[in-house]
Structure 1
Amino acid sequence: MTDTSPTLQVSGLSKSFGGVQAVGDVSFSVAAGELLALIGPNGAGKTTCFNMLMGQLRPDTGSIRLKGREITGLAPRRIWRLGVGRTFQITATFASMSVRENVQMALLSHHRRLLSLFADAGRHYVEEAMALLSLVGMEGQAGRACGVLAYGDLKRVELAVALANDPTLLLMDEPTAGMAPRERIALMELTAGIVKQRGISVLFTEHDMDVVFAHADRILVLNRGRLLAEGTPHQVRADPKVQETYLGSGSMFASEGH
């Protein structure tokens, strides 16, 4: 019997800072293999929501379930070990280490072999690391230090690192930030192909509306910490509330931050 339960189920999520509510009563789910975009104008609560999902922040109220398991308030490391990968708006690689070593580090952590870092760490999971680098088109630069890579290539390495724990859910915070338009398209096409092939669920924030509407299966729109709208790209584009919110800042497709 096919399991149709959502990969991620978020119910009534709220978080306040000093009396200011950053996220209020947000509920949504992410289906297996779905690419769900989370968008909104400045201060909408996107990053706060992401940080609660990954354990950097503890919600004031609400529930976060991964494949039916309650993960609300767990530490980031425990959530990662349960199969949640994450990429960041600013790439988080070790600049002095090689591309392959960065991926090996993630694999060592996934397999709970961090003690190996102090004893011939470079010998472990070489084939697995190269397979992941091949998947993202970076096997030819495996021996180069991350510190000398072009920014678009760093984003590909970060994607390989995020896939090292064989995630069922991938959280991507502004995956194309800082990239040229052609690089953005290539990275999102690559990501979409990988996650569809592997059945990985993806929740991503993104400032480039062309990327969002080209690749998202569904879109959530946050405004002032609350869920304003959700639906297919066509439904969200046509929603009067969304149009009003974005037209107030110039255009529905205007660049946005957090």
Structure 2
Amino acid sequence: MSEPVLQVEGLRKAFGGVIAVDTVSFEVAAGRLFAIIGPNGAGKSTCFNMVGGQLLPDAGRVQLAGQDITGLPPRRIWRLGVGRTFQVAATFTAMTVVENVQMAFISHRRRLRALLPTARKLYRAEAMAVLERVGMADQAERQCGLLAYGDIKRVELAIALAHEPRLLLMDEPTAGMAPKERIALMALTADIVRERGISVLFTEHDMDVVFAHADTLLVLDRGRTVATGTPDAVRDNAEVQRIYLGGSGVEAAQRAMEARA
């Protein structure tokens, strides 16, 4: 069996007397989607931000393909092959769609000194290929500020892919999107990451999205691990149902898994 792309061991974080994350451990394999879910205040974002370098853990370790990245700043983690999308998507609104993705390629390949006046010529073909893959090639010349929010999310995914990540962190990737757009975006993401062997760690509140696309789920409550396992195992876990899913949540999980099958 190959080494996991991401290994998290015993992460802990407290804010004053409140323990936000309490000795959490998990692994993410190559080409797999791993979701962290739980009720509000469960510690999802805190755990996520320790992996990405936005927060320094009080204890524990984060390894990327065997390399210890615990406590490294986000830019260094990004340089090691960790991409990220954010709950509130942001692009250069005055620039076109293709220019946004070109900028990502320019940054990734360390060509920032080659900016104006040559930037518009750099990596255009590569940018268009990524936009084609995410379904945005036909809007390549539109300013990002004119796009619908669902399309901005696709551009953000294209920007993340331009960095050629081996691990992609996605914080609430479908937040603010209509239900049909949510499923479509995550289906697209799942197809891309599996064909490229990218690992994905994501947080998400939409149970239809989670149970339709995640390979493994980690459920947190008040900073502690409640359950880790396949969608089937998590859906059927009595404690998960009690503290988080409830009746309607179980039904949503069942619908999503039936659609997945």
Same fold (TM over 0.5): yes
Cα contact 1:36–1:217 (8 A) shared by 2: yes
- Taking the aligned partners of 2:86 and 2:77, their CA distance within structure 1 comes to 16
Residue 252 (structure 1) aligns with: 249
- Secondary structure of the 1:23 match is strand
| Contact map agreement 1:209 1:254 (CA 8 A) in 2 | no
For 1:14, the equivalent position in structure 2 comes to 12
* 2:56 equivalent in structure 1: 58
| Cα pair 1:208 1:253 within 8 Å, conserved | no
- Runs in 1 of length 4+ with deviation above 3 angstroms? 250-255
* Normalised TM-score (structure 2): 0.93
2:210 maps to a residue whose letter is V
User: What is the Cα deviation at residue 253 of structure 1?
Assistant: 5.8
Cα displacement (A) at 1:117: 2.8
Deviation (angstroms), 1:62:
0.7
| 1:161 matched residue in structure 2 | 159
Give the one of 3, 6, 10 matched to 1:5: 3
Superposition pairs for residues 168-187 of structure 1, below 5 Å?
A: 168-187=166-185
Measure the CA separation in 2 of the matches of 1:125 and 1:213. Answer: 37
Query: Residue type of the partner of 2:98?
Result: R
Distance 2:171 2:38 in 1: 13
CA distance in 1, matches of 2:12, 2:218: 16
Counterpart amino acid of residue 102 in structure 2: Q
- TM-score if structure 1 supplies the norm length? 0.94
1:66 maps to amino acid: L
What is the rounded CA distance, in whole Å, between the counterparts of 1:188 and 1:11 in structure 2? 27
Q: Which residue of 1 aligns with 2:134?
A: 136
Q: Note if contact 1:104-1:125 (Cα within 8 Å) is conserved in structure 2.
A: yes
Is the Cα contact below 8 Å between 1:55 and 1:79 reproduced in 2?
A: yes
- Name the counterpart of 2:237: 239
Task: For residue 238 of structure 1, report the CA deviation from its aligned partner.
Answer: 0.6
How far the C-alpha of 1:49 sits from its partner, in A, is 1.1
For residue 228 of structure 1, what is the aligned residue in structure 2?
Answer: 226
> CA RMSD for the aligned pairs?
1.6
SS in structure 1 at match of 2:162 = coil
Q: How far off is 1:185 after superposition?
A: 1.3
Aligned to 1:24: 22
SS in 2 for 1:166: coil
Segments of 5+ residues of structure 1 without an aligned counterpart are: none
State the shift of 1:109 in Å: 1.0
User: 1:190 aligned to 173, 188, 191, which one?
Assistant: 188
1:74 corresponds in structure 2 to 72
8 Å CA contact 2:241, 2:250 repeated in 1: no
Count of residue pairs the alignment pairs up: 252
2:145 aligned residue: 147
Question: How far apart are the structure 1 equivalents of 2:45 and 2:112?
Answer: 29
Report the 3-state secondary structure (helix = DSSP H, G, I; strand = E; otherwise coil) of the residue aligned with 2:233. helix
Rounded to whole Å, the distance in 1 between the matches of 2:160 and 2:86 is 10
Shift of 1:254: 10
The offset of 1:157, in angstroms, is 0.2
Work out the CA distance in 2 between the residues paired with 1:81 and 1:127.
23
Q: Gaps (5+ residues) in structure 2?
A: 253-261
Equivalent in 112, 115, 118 of residue 117 of structure 1: 115
Native 8 Å contact 1:13 1:62 kept in 2: yes
Does the Cα contact within 8 Å between 1:176 and 1:184 map onto a contact in 2? yes
Question: Secondary structure of the residue that 1:44 maps to in structure 2?
Answer: coil
